[in-house]
């Protein structure tokens, strides 16, 4: 069935509206700060085969796991056994495709007059599902069983209500069952809302129109991406980056390597040169790696192209098994995010060589999260503080990098200070920019930041960050930023630096300081205008000494203005032509 362009566009916008409504319901029904504040979750619709059509939410790399979750559900519960009102859940990454064990997926079949026409799907992070440490994602994990409760696809709800036996198992395996179950029921609710809205849309336009619009969107997406690729020169490029280590073998860095080959209107991304899967928890599964790679493809082509399964018609992947980007059971993968973020930056770097007009310097690599487990929080009950830690974006040919923005997704999931201090026995003593943390360049990277906590109760801290040793790299003469670091002090005087993947006990009064990297620079720093450098100094982004050293711009400390003569002497030419 071919739709006229107007009907097609109207129906597609209604589908996007449904996904956005699901997302709104998800965040506003969330119990845990990681969902309602950091918005670590998405919601959307797939077709009857599980191909993602529309997804709404900041973490767009959740999209490809939708397909694997639906396939996992269908393998155990064939379509003929499903009924109106059913909802299934899964959190085993090997059976559901979710990035790691704390990410639970809810899958609700959508029926129209007895026919299965789609699925409503939601992925959302849970504050704790068991495992070695509070927050589940332990630095000491060496196999998937260390990461927490593993649920295969199971029927969680029917038209008669929640399966209390399944819910009891989940409650019994979480240190903080109330927010976990509250978030999970919110996921069920948002997918059921999506199902009801889609059924209403089918009443309005006809079910065949809805199915045709879904299929048409995937075709148009593929055609738009192929048209972009067709304009590029054919060729092959490569890029690589490094993680400090996997958490188990702390002397050996972990390599991410990609070769990008463009031929005609197709692109092949080959990860054969990446390190083998690791004993430690930095593995990232293939659905996540493919999804973040596709986000890089969109960034390097046309970011207005929607993120859906149609992209796979134009992009092929070569990912041999048992790589850090394709771990095999029972490898742990709880610390997948820094690996995925590095994959994104490597793909973007390789594609930038094929399409220089959209080349972007890497964002800061020190991404990840912290988890702090409290025996008793403000509520008097055990709680887990789980916070996403981000960095800043790299510079581009036209703009400085955005500060304190999550790479790949370009949104800001930091939990507000007021929420942190209200929920948990902790004080946020500092949340401030980190001067000189950005990579210098004609367009500098975004500024990094410092976040400092003081614990008011004894607690367990798990640091799951990255790249204290290997940082981002500059582009076209730009400089790399400072690397991230984590410091802990028991007395607020002597500071101990800890590694990027560690679990430790904190006593009441202890202070944790997180210094998160800025983005990398783009272009020769000496081509940045003195006026821009002065503005950075005035804003506290760049110190006067760094201005002189990195940019060869001298700022008079008495007047706070540019010393033109000294700057000309350092730059060796008139600054008006620099």
Residues 517-542 have pLDDT tens digits of 999 999 999 999 999 999 999 999 99
- Contact criterion met (CB below 8 Å) for 309 and 67: yes
Alpha-carbon distance of 470 to 463, in angstroms, equals: 17
Q: What is the pLDDT of residue 535?
A: 97
Q: With H, G, I as helix, E, B as strand and everything else as coil, classify residue 544.
A: helix
574 — pLDDT class (breaks 50, 70, 90): very low
Q: What is the mean pLDDT of residues 543-568?
A: 93
Distance CA 475, CA 485 (A): 23
The strands making up 254-263's β-sheet, listed across from edge to edge, are 235-243, 254-263, 266-270, 315-318
| Distance between CA atoms of residues 192 and 185, nearest Å | 11
Query: Is 232 strand, coil or helix?
Result: coil
Spatial distance between the Cα atoms of 561 and 291, rounded to a whole number of angstroms: 47
What does the pLDDT read at residue 518? 97
CA–CA distance, 385 with 36 (Å, rounded to integer) = 13
Is the distance from CB of 466 to CB of 370 less than 8 angstroms?
no
Cβ–Cβ under 8 Å, residues 399 and 352 = no
DSSP 475: B
Place 2 in a pLDDT band, splitting at 50, 70 and 90. confident
On average, the pLDDT of the chain sits at 95
Per the CB < 8 A criterion, the answer to whether 153 and 96 are in contact is yes
Task: Render pLDDT for 369-386 as a digit per residue (tens, 0 to 9).
Answer: 999 999 988 888 899 999
Is residue 359 a contact partner of residue 352, using CB atoms and an 8 Å limit?
yes
Res 256 pLDDT > 70: yes
pLDDT tens by residue, 129-164:
999 999 999 999 999 999 999 999 999 999 999 999
User: DSSP characters for 35-103?
Assistant: HHTT--EEEEEEETT--EEEEESS-GGGHHHHHHHHHHHHHHS-GGG--TT-EEEE--HHHH--SSTTE
Q: Is the pLDDT of residue 477 over 60?
A: yes
Q: Are strands 315-318 and 266-270 parallel, antiparallel or unpaired?
A: parallel
The CA-atom distances, in angstroms, between 320 and each of 66, 82, 326, 389, 540 are: 22, 35, 7, 30, 47
pLDDT of residue 497 exceeding 60? yes
3-state helix, strand, coil in the chain (%, to 5): 35, 25, 40
pLDDT at residue 183 tops 80? yes
Q: What pLDDT, on a 0 to 100 scale, did the predictor assign at position 545?
A: 95
User: Is 578 a residue whose pLDDT tops 50?
Assistant: no
Q: Where are the domains of the chain?
A: 5-221, 360-528, 530-577
Least confident piece of the model among 118-132, 308-322, 482-496, 561-575: 561-575
pLDDT in tens, 209-230: 999 999 999 999 999 999 999 9
Question: How many residues are recorded in the chain?
Answer: 578
């Amino acid at each position: 069935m071919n739709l006229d362009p107007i009907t097609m566009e109207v129906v597609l916008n209604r589908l996007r509206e449904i996904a956005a409504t699901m997302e709104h319901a998800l965040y506003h029904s969330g119990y845990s700060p990681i969902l309602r504040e950091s918005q670590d979750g998405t919601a959307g619709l797939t077709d009857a085969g599980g191909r993602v059509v529309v997804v709404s939410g900041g973490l767009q790399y959740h999209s490809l796991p939708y397909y694997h979750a639906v396939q996992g559900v269908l393998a155990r519960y064939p379509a003929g056994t499903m009924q109106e009102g059913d909802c299934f859940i899964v959190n085993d990454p090997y059976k559901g495709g979710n990035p790691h064990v704390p990410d639970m997926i809810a899958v609700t079949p959508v029926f129209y007059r007895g026919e299965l026409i789609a699925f409503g799907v939601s992925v959302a992070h849970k504050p704790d599902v068991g495992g070695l440490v509070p927050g589940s994602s332990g630095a000491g994990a060496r196999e998937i069983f260390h990461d927490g409760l593993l649920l295969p696809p199971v029927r969680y709800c029917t038209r008669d209500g929640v399966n209390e036996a399944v819910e009891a198992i989940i409650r019994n395996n979480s240190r903080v069952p109330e927010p976990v179950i509250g978030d999970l029921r919110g996921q069920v609710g948002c997918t059921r809302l999506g199902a009801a809205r889609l059924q209403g849309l089918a009443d309005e336009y006809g079910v065949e129109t809805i199915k045709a619009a879904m299929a048409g969107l995937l075709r148009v997406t593929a055609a738009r991406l192929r048209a972009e690729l067709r304009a590029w020169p054919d060729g092959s490029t490569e890029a690589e980056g490094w993680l400090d280590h996997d958490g188990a073998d702390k002397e050996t860095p972990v390599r991410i390597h990609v070769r990008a080959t463009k031929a005609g209107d197709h692109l092949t991304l080959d990860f054969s040169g990446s390190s083998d899967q690791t004993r430690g928890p930095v593995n990232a599964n293939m659905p996540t790696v493919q999804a973040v790679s596709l986000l890089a493809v969109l960034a390097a082509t046309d970011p207005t192209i929607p993120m859906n399964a149609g992209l796979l018609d134009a992009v092929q992947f070569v990912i041999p098994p048992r790589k850090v980007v394709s771990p095999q059971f029972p490898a742990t993968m709880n610390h997948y995010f820094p690996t995925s973020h590095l994959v994104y930056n490597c793909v973007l770097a390789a594609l930038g060589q094929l399409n220089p007009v959209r080349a972007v310097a890497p964002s800061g690599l020190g991404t990840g999260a912290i988890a702090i487990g409290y025996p008793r929080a403000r509520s008097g009950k055990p709680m887990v503080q789980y916070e996403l830690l981000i960095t800043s974006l790299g510079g581009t040919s036209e703009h400085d990098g955005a500060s304190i923005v999550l790479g790949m997704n370009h949104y800001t999931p930091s939990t507000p200070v007021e929420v942190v201090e209200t929920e948990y026995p902790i004080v946020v003593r500092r949340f401030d920019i980190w001067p000189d943390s950005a990579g210098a360049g004609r367009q500098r990277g975004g500024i990094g930041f410092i976040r400092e906590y003081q614990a008011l109760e004894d607690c367990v801290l798990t640091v799951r960050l990255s790249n204290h040793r290997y940082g981002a790299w500059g582009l076209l003469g730009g400089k790399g930023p400072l690397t991230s670091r984590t410091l802990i002090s028991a007395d607020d005087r002597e500071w101990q630096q800890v590694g990027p993947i560690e679990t430790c006990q904190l006593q009441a009064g202890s202070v944790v300081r997180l210094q998160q990297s800025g983005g990398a620079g783009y272009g020769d720093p000496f081509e940045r205008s003195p006026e821009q450098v002065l503005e950075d100094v005035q804003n506290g982004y760049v110190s006067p000494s760094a201005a002189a050293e990195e940019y060869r711009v001298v700022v008079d400390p008495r007047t706070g203005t540019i010393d033109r003569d000294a700057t000309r002497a350092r730059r060796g030419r008139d600054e008006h032509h620099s």
